[in-house]
Amino acid sequence: MNELAARKRLLVKESELNRETLMLEFSAIGQKTARLERWFALGLKAYPLLRGAITLGRSLRGNRANRSGGLIATLGKGLGLARAVLGVARKPAATSPSADGR
């Protein structure tokens, strides 16, 4: 019986050592992957901002394939329409004297 009890105590001690070794290995893995976790967290935070900036850029640029303008083109067209409706004309450019003297 003493032999079985001694074997049991030996297995318990070995199990405790294996558990501590495993905890140390997990700690080392956690330290090695901490930088990766920080970059991943930063990426998760920055993704909505980056996605919004891309969407804004696309809306400002317009769709070149369909030749429909973006926000800036739409504003330009609206200003052109307002000029036409209100009769606002651009100032004529200064003309240089012609070669025939007129």
**Tens-digit pLDDT profile for residues 43-63:** 888 888 888 888 877 777 665
Question: Is position 47 within any domain?
Answer: yes
Question: How many domains, the chain?
Answer: 1
Mean model confidence pLDDT for the chain: 80
Q: Which two tokens stand for residue 76?
A: 């330009």
Write down the residue that tokens 């052109």 correspond to.
Answer: 80
Question: Is position 48 within any domain?
Answer: yes
Q: Say if CB 89 and CB 97 are below 8 A apart.
A: no
| φ, ψ (nearest 5 deg) of residue 97 | -60, 140
pLDDT higher at 86 or 101: 86
Question: Is position 39 within any domain?
Answer: yes
pLDDT the model gives residue 22: 96
- Domain of 34, in residue numbers: 2-86
The pTM of the full predicted model, rounded to 2 decimals, is 0.40
- How does residue 3 score in pLDDT terms, banded at 50, 70 and 90? very high
Question: Is position 50 within any domain?
Answer: yes
- Distance set, CA 66 to CA 24, 60, 62, 63 (Å): 60, 14, 9, 6
Question: Is position 61 within any domain?
Answer: yes
